Amino acid sequence: MTNETELLQAVQQLADKDVAPFDLQIDRQAKLPNGLFQKIVDLGLLKAKIPKEYDGLDVSAMTAGKIVNILAKANASVGVMLEGHYKSCDQLAKYGTEAAKKRYFAWGAQAILGFSNTEPESGSDPSKHQSYAVEKDGRWIINGDKVMITNGTLAQVYSVNVKTGPDEYSVFIVDKGMPGFSFGYVEKFIGLRGIPCGEVVMDQIEVGPENMLGKRGQGLEIANNAHDDARYLMGAVLTGIQEHALDIAKNYAAKRKSGNTLLKDMQVTQYKITKIATNKELTRLVYQEAARLKDAGLPYMEQSAMAKCFGSKAAVESCDLTLQIMGGYGYSAEFAPEHLIRDARAMEIAEGTLEKMYTEISNAEMADVAVAADRQPADLTDLDPILPLLEAAKTTKSTVDAVTSPSQAASLPKAKIVLALGRGANKPETIALAKQAAEKLGAEIGVTRPLVGPNFNRGQQLGVNGHKIKPDVLINLGIAGAPQYTMTTDKAKTIVSVNTNPNAIVFEGSDYRYVGSAEDFLKQLLNRLG
């Protein structure tokens, strides 16, 4: 195969000729048709994610996704079989020793590799893992039990994440030729029935250090990385499933009449087709975005989780809508929609449940948002700790009267020092003191919404309806600290808050806390500034 386009064309032919016609049979017989696996091997698809130096094709993440997508449209089990293999190849490529890569990539070109984390007592949270490895004379002895492994019993080589200490996890490669290795129970899963999901039992398996992936203690990181590499491929599977469903829905709606009207001409069907098509397209976009980021060497964890999280829910819905379009026939096991629902449903659980996705995606989104508790305020009795900070941030620019100069207000977002006035500082004397201090420091004055009026214009407003600021030093004067204010000012390097109420919420997100009036603070400040 000379290039990835030709490879994808060959995959499409395989899907059309050797997979799609057997879709229902695969589900019913719970196995792949005889000879299909060998055709997949012959086409080089097991080598797709193996690096070139180990005689692999080393295709891009995008192409791997498209291979999985094409095959999953024909039958989801076949797509998932490769998804499980590709993520395992990725971990071997990233973390394997030279000896392990040489040995297991040669093996992986002909046989499936698996990745196993789940145990009978622990899935989402590995802290209760019972499998363990102990070091003896520079080698490792592994014991334990891994369950629900995609391709488990079909795969011949497994990366296993086991404990190497009470809170320490490490990944080792074991293979079916090793003494002490055996297969256990194969799950009777309701979907993805074409491939086994089975158990690996490890009884005193001995491996050398070359069989460790990464370093000792790197197990959770590698397991998470395997998730990232699997989840976007699941998005590819879920796209394929929805393409399959959409084909059925469209063709059925174009032929079936209710009375004299074709289903396709009824608005209720049009709604369903629109929903399926949009779900399918959004799933495709997000898995391909994750692949694009991965290929560009950029972080892709979040998009990969989204592909699985959004895609699995979307696919279950799309297949259910397809079933509904087909009415009673849709509810029959003689047609695909019911098994498509069962297939798609697996991906709300495998590679981390939806609930875990919500936590991981939300955590990724929250990573750059300051939380109030991130800052521990120190009590400020004199101004010694903050004077050097003000000195360093001070500019020579003189402050003009903000009331008559909107251009100054426009410079608020760029200010190095901001004096922010709230209700507690809304007195003529305090305002006058604040202006003097601002002039000495080359600072800008910002205000909360109640102060916009005769003294301050809208251009000086801070908060969700005003400016977002990130000065070196922010001094909050008489400000309560409501989230709609702090969410736009919390990027300040140092936050000093002044309030007469010792329990004011504003202190929670501050570095310095001055309990007292804004006037007293400003008088002290002007005194020290000289």
Ligand X SMILES: Cc1cc2nc3c(=O)[nH]c(=O)nc-3n(C[C@H](O)[C@H](O)[C@H](O)COP(=O)(O)OP(=O)(O)OC[C@H]3O[C@@H](n4cnc5c(N)ncnc54)[C@H](O)[C@@H]3O)c2cc1C
Residues in touch with ligand X (CB under 6 A): 84, 115-118, 123-125, 148-150, 189, 192, 197, 346, 349-353, 355-356
Which helix H or strand E contains 81, and what residues bound it?
helix 76-95
Is the Cβ of residue 201 or residue 515 nearer to ligand X in the bound state? 201
Closest approach, Cβ 29 to ligand X, in A, equals 18
Closest approach, Cβ 394 to ligand X, in A, equals 49
Is the Cβ of residue 238 or residue 350 nearer to ligand X in the bound state? 350
Strand-pairing partners, residue 274, are: none
Closest approach, Cβ 16 to ligand X, in A, equals 26
> β-pairing, 139-150 with 197-207?
antiparallel
CA triplet 477, 372, 474: central angle to 5 degrees?
A: 30
Report the C-alpha gap between 494 and 483 in whole angstroms: 18
- E strands, 246-341, in order: 257-258, 261-262
Is the Cβ of residue 364 or residue 403 nearer to ligand X in the bound state? 364
Closest approach, Cβ 210 to ligand X, in A, equals 23
Is the Cβ of residue 72 or residue 386 nearer to ligand X in the bound state? 72
User: From its phi and psi, is residue 516 left (phi > 0), alpha (psi between -120 and 50) or beta?
Assistant: left
Is the Cβ of residue 350 or residue 495 nearer to ligand X in the bound state? 350
Given a contact cutoff of 8 angstroms between Cβ atoms, the answer to whether 185 and 141 are in contact is no
Closest approach, Cβ 465 to ligand X, in A, equals 36
Classify 515 as helix, strand or coil: strand
Classify 133 as helix, strand or coil: strand
Q: How many CA atoms lie within 13 A of 101 on its CB side?
A: 18
Closest approach, Cβ 71 to ligand X, in A, equals 16
Of all residues in the shown chain, the one whose CB is closest to ligand X is: 123
Is the Cβ of residue 343 or residue 444 nearer to ligand X in the bound state? 343
Closest approach, Cβ 148 to ligand X, in A, equals 4
Closest approach, Cβ 1 to ligand X, in A, equals 28
Report the C-alpha gap between 502 and 516 in whole angstroms: 8
Closest approach, Cβ 224 to ligand X, in A, equals 12
Please state, in angstroms and as integers, the Cα–Cα distance from residue 199 to each residue in 115, 186, 187, following that order. Answer: 11, 6, 8
The two three-digit tokens of residue 362, written as one number: 């939300």
Strand-pairing partners, residue 473, are: 417, 494
Closest approach, Cβ 360 to ligand X, in A, equals 11
Please state, in angstroms and as integers, the Cα–Cα distance from residue 256 to each residue in 245, 249, 327, 330, following that order. Answer: 16, 10, 10, 13
Which helix H or strand E contains 25, and what residues bound it?
helix 23-29
Burial, 431: exposed, middle or buried (Cβ in 10 Å; 0-12, 13-18, 19+)? buried
Closest approach, Cβ 218 to ligand X, in A, equals 17
- E strands, 123-177, in order: 132-136, 139-150, 157-165, 168-175
For tokens 């005689």, name the residue.
55
Question: What is residue 381's DSSP assignment?
Answer: S
| Backbone φ, ψ for residue 181 (5° rounding) | -95, 130
Is the Cβ of residue 185 or residue 427 nearer to ligand X in the bound state? 185
Is the Cβ of residue 151 or residue 497 nearer to ligand X in the bound state? 151
